Amino acid sequence: MDTMAAIKQTFFQECEEQLAELETGLLAIESEEHDTDTINAVFRAVHSIKGGAGAFGLEELVRFAHTFETTLDLVRSGQIQPDAGLLKLMLRSSDILADLVRFSRDGGEMDESRVSQIHEELTRAAQPGGTPAASAAPAAAPSFTPPAAFDAGSDDDDFVPITINFDDILGGGEPAVEEQVFVVSFRPKPELYAKANDAIKLLREIRALGDADVACDISEVPLLTELDPEGAYLSWTIRLGSDVTEAQVREVFEFVEFDCDVSVTAEPKVDPNFEFVPAPVAETREPVPALADDGPLIPESVLAKIAQVNAEPAKASPAAAANQAQPAQQAQTTIRVDLDRVDRLIDLVGELVINQSMLSQRVTEAGIARLSEVAVGLDDLEQLTREIQDSVMAIRAQPVRPIFQRMSRVVREVADMVGKSVRLVTEGENCEVDKTVIERLADPLTHMIRNAVDHGLEKPEDRIKAGKPEQGVVRMTAAHRSGRVIIEVSDDGAGINRARVKEIAIKRGVIEPGVPLSDSEIDDLIFAPGFSTASTVSDVSGRGVGMDVVKRSIQALGGRISISSKPGQGTTFTLSLPLTLAVLDGMVVTVAGQTLVVPLTAIVETLQPKGPEVHGLGERAKVIAIRGSFIPLIDVGYKLGYRYEEADPLNSVAIMVESENRAQSALMVDGIIGQQQVVIKSLETNYGQVFGVAAATILGDGRVAVILDVDAIVAGNRS
């Protein structure tokens, strides 16, 4: 049972991959960026899901996948064209297929009416002219029983009754199929065995069809020392005598046709009454010249070559076996590893980083020269540790493609609910980020996509009046920038109605009337808790739950979110996220006798304030003049409660940082120790939430240091 459960779990994991490939292919066909291989890949994805589901008896999944596959096969063969309506149906069918896979895996409730509706639409689409299944069915033949004999009406007592076989006249009944001999060539690929299929079971199915002579070819089996246990070296030739059709023979290999090479040929029938009559020999042909008595029958060069081949059979065999084993070795490009093992490995690498930092600290405290062998060895260890850490992080790194593809379904569903025509465009799907970050991005991105479709895009009639295409566009892009991943969600809608946003904010008490706000500050009001511009509550929006949750989720990931909007042109949300939640490069600083870490990705530059550059603002606030602009000065020690009086800026170091809305501030610290890679430890999980603190780490001397939450400190200074 445990083995079967493991195989079933592997099947569902492969289903996720097939569903992703299916979604990618359908979107490529929709955007007209496809070829024959894309259509074949889409067909294979559905076919593979159907084959695996059949092996586990998932009848509902098999039934729907079979109908979906039939429609795709017609598209593949060119019998029907994938127009806009059919593509929309196929995308909805892809969603249903994904639901059925999840239902088969996790259980729960399934909307059977929706499944039946899409199933009927697929059935109609697969019929000539797209007619419904009911109307396409042939009308039942009228019930008629002919008499056994037909009376010709003769008065003669010796009349002969004429017996008429109406089946022969009307073509009724199945014609008898004469026995036919088929030659079946069957060669499995390694993928067939990797998916837990068994070649022996297929051979038994063939033998069940009739008289079968099976011959196994073992000529490609390599030596034992060179044999790949996951390779496929055997092939079979079956000579089958049966009264079945060729289609029935091929049906045996239906579920594995992409994982093996199969050919089925029918031998020509032999006429038993055929008599061979040789053609007469022409009398005028020239006589065959006689061989010379002293000449050899086979040339000496050919005899020498044969002798050479016979003398060295063992020498040629290993090379041939190596060539045969090579494709099987190349096919093994990935392995499946439990995520717990990877997490354990990452934890160990984190401990290695901490221990390496401690060793470096001890060497420094001991006063060992940097050019000594010990110090040089530690430098090599530090470099090796960083390379190991980068390699381990790369194991967890995954492209954002799966989550981008998931948003395609969100766009379709919300667009149908609000009656809009929307197209999702994605870029940078191969951009990689830590798996944990991807998992926790799903909910924030879903909120943003729903808002973009519901609030951002205008209704079709309003877009036409504004001179825009009826179909709106939502765009998602991902890219690496300065050690972080930047994800943008934009739309080509009407943009943010800032007057209405400000009016609602005043009405809800978010801001006081008459407070002057810049455009960016008005845009930021969207992130206020409970804020919503929807006039009515619907299934999509209007309950005031959304963007504030998005902001908190992004901040919990150590990220930032900002908005830019142009009236009449659309709105763009920009997410800046760390590549990993395990380690970060930070600047170690001192504040009031405490050691803190400032994330390096937030730092723009460091500087030493001078007297003429520092200016007072109000009762306590201070700013620093830098290149023609005034930047707020924030005393980190005072904000975090390490001291009760603010420090003198002239005796401090200013670290200029950039917050979530790209606004710059200068953090005042007492000194800078240096740059260091640190392992992130959750403070909220192990202790509790602390203002201005994102996480904690262990330094080389064994002390615990907090990692600053730059955005929280900057936002707290404004309030």
Q: Is the pLDDT reported for residue 603 higher than 50?
A: yes
Highest mean pLDDT (candidates 324-333, 470-479, 693-702): 470-479
pLDDT cut 70: percent of the chain above it = 78
CA–CA distance, 190 with 193 (Å, rounded to integer):
6
Q: Which residues of 288-324 are buried (b: 16+ CB within 10 A; e: fewer)?
A: eeeeeeeeeeeeeeeeeeeeeeeeeeeeeeeeebeeb
Q: Model confidence over 213-234: pLDDT tens digits?
A: 888 888 888 888 888 888 889 9
pLDDT at 163: 42
Give me the chain's average pLDDT, please.
77
**Residue 531, SS3?**
coil
Using the structure block, give the residue that is written with the tokens 């309950």.
543
Q: Is the pLDDT reported for residue 561 higher than 60?
A: yes
CA–CA distance, 161 with 525 (Å, rounded to integer):
99
- Which of 270-279, 325-334, 470-479, 577-586 comes out lowest in average pLDDT? 325-334
Pairing relationship of beta strands 603-607 and 614-617 according to DSSP bridges: unpaired
Amino acid letter at 561?
Answer: I
Amino acid letter at 60?
Answer: E
pLDDT at 5: 77
Instruction: From 18, 62, 97, 31, select the one nearest 409 (Cα to Cα).
Output: 97
CA–CA distance, 133 with 122 (Å, rounded to integer):
10
pLDDT cut 90: percent of the chain above it = 7
Q: Do domains 400-578 and 583-718 have the same CATH topology?
A: no
- Stretch 709-717: mean pLDDT, rounded? 79
CATH architecture of the domain 180-266 equals 2-Layer Sandwich (3.30)
Amino acid letter at 405?
Answer: Q
- Stretch 604-632: mean pLDDT, rounded? 87
- Which of 181-195, 226-240, 299-313, 469-483 comes out lowest in average pLDDT? 299-313
- Stretch 551-574: mean pLDDT, rounded? 86
Q: Is the pLDDT reported for residue 331 higher than 50?
A: no
The 3-state secondary structure of 437-495, one letter per residue = HHHHHHHHHHHHHHHHHHHHCCCHHHHHHCCCCCCEEEEEEEEEECCEEEEEEEECCCC
189 compared with 712, residue with greater pLDDT:
189
Q: Model confidence over 72-88: pLDDT tens digits?
A: 888 888 888 888 888 88
Q: Is the pLDDT reported for residue 115 higher than 70?
A: yes
Which residues, 6 or more positions from 562, have their beta carbon under 8 angstroms from its beta carbon?
Answer: 573, 574, 576, 660, 661, 662
- Which of 170-179, 295-304, 365-374 comes out lowest in average pLDDT? 170-179
Helix (H) or strand (E) holding 603: strand 603-607
285 compared with 133, residue with greater pLDDT:
285
Instruction: From 715, 251, 289, 238, select the one nearest 524 (Cα to Cα).
Output: 715
CB-based contact 596:705 (threshold 8 Å): yes
DSSP code, position 570 = E
Q: Is the pLDDT reported for residue 475 higher than 90?
A: yes
Q: Is the pLDDT reported for residue 545 higher than 50?
A: no
Q: Model confidence over 151-204: pLDDT tens digits?
A: 444 444 444 444 444 344 344 444 445 678 889 999 999 888 887 788 888 888
Q: Report the predicted TM-score, pTM, of the whole model to 2 decimal places.
A: 0.58
Q: Model confidence over 377-392: pLDDT tens digits?
A: 888 888 888 788 778 7
* pLDDT band at 316; cut points 50, 70, 90: very low
- Stretch 16-29: mean pLDDT, rounded? 84
432 φ/ψ angles, rounded to the nearest 5 degrees = -100, 145
Residues in the chain: 719
Q: Model confidence over 399-411: pLDDT tens digits?
A: 888 888 888 888 8
Structure tokens at 361: 């600290």
Give the chain's largest Cα–Cα span. Answer: 140
Instruction: From 708, 555, 587, select the one nearest 637 (Cα to Cα).
Output: 708
- Stretch 357-367: mean pLDDT, rounded? 79
CATH architecture of the domain 583-718 equals Roll (2.30)
CA–CA distance, 27 with 75 (Å, rounded to integer):
15
CB-based contact 454:414 (threshold 8 Å): yes
Measured N-to-C along each axis, helices 36-55 and 84-106 cross at an angle, to the nearest 10 degrees, of: 30
What residue ranges do the domains of the chain occupy? 2-132, 180-266, 339-397, 400-578, 583-718
CATH architecture of the domain 2-132 equals Up-down Bundle (1.20)
pLDDT at 482: 63
pLDDT at 543: 39
Helix (H) or strand (E) holding 174: none
Which residues, 6 or more positions from 530, have their beta carbon under 8 angstroms from its beta carbon?
Answer: 508, 544, 545, 548
Pairing relationship of beta strands 583-591 and 235-242 according to DSSP bridges: unpaired
Q: What is the dihedral of CA 320, 326, 327, 328, to 10 degrees?
A: 110
DSSP code, position 162 = B
Q: Is the pLDDT reported for residue 481 higher than 50?
A: yes
Q: Model confidence over 518-535: pLDDT tens digits?
A: 888 888 888 877 676 655
Domain 400-578 class in CATH: alpha beta
The 3-state secondary structure of 247-263, one letter per residue = HHHHHCCHHHCCCEEEE
Instruction: From 426, 416, 488, 425, select the one nearest 454 (Cα to Cα).
Output: 416
**Residue 237, SS3?**
strand
Q: Is the pLDDT reported for residue 330 higher than 60?
A: no
**Residue 105, SS3?**
helix
268 compared with 27, residue with greater pLDDT:
27
**Residue 698, SS3?**
strand
- Which of 2-11, 283-292, 478-487 comes out lowest in average pLDDT? 283-292
Q: Model confidence over 418-454: pLDDT tens digits?
A: 889 898 888 888 888 888 788 888 888 888 898 889 8
pLDDT at 473: 92
Q: Measure Cα distances from 639 to 635, 642, 665 in Å.
A: 6, 8, 14
103 compared with 308, residue with greater pLDDT:
103
pLDDT at 167: 44
* pLDDT band at 44; cut points 50, 70, 90: confident
pLDDT at 225: 81
